[in-house]
Amino acid sequence: MPKSKDGIEYIWTDKKRTLFGLPLSFTRYYLTDTRLITRVGFLTVTEDELDIYRITDKKMKLPLFQRIFGCGSIILYSKDVDTPEKEIHAIKNPRQVSDLITACINEQRDRFGIRGRDMVGPAGFPPDLCDCDDNVL
């Protein structure tokens, strides 16, 4: 496993790919066993973290031009307040990365004893969006 300068062990890391599948951008993605980190910028760096266990669904986007160069994007939907949707843009081997994220999600949910139904309130809506009265069936 690669290690960063700050001592965090990364399971996977890649840069956002631009023209012809080349990693010529200042967006970098890091996956640890507990979170997904997106670091954007050159002079001013902005870092966003998403706890893996909060991811509720994912979708893969494979446009023709990206597929030609073995790239694709993964869209993650989560119960995170400030990042309900996160797109991992134009990365190499998106199917393998998606499977790796799924494995991390399952590992973290098992660790905390969380299942997908624990993140959904009555009537199938997320608990923070449910406007239901608990006394009504």
Instruction: Parse the chain into domains and list their residue ranges.
Output: 12-115
Query: Using 50, 70 and 90 to split pLDDT, how confident is the model at 133?
Result: low
Residue pLDDT, tens place only, 23-82 = 889 999 999 999 999 999 999 999 999 999 999 999 999 999 999 999 999 999 999 889
| CATH architecture under which domain 12-115 falls | Roll (2.30)
Q: Is the pTM of this model over 0.85?
A: no
Give the model's pLDDT for residue 98: 97
Q: Which residues contact 133 (CB under 8 A, 6 or more apart)?
A: none
State how far the Cα of 116 lies from the Cα of 54, in Å rounded to an integer: 9
Query: Using 50, 70 and 90 to split pLDDT, how confident is the model at 103?
Result: very high
Coil, helix or strand at residue 118: helix
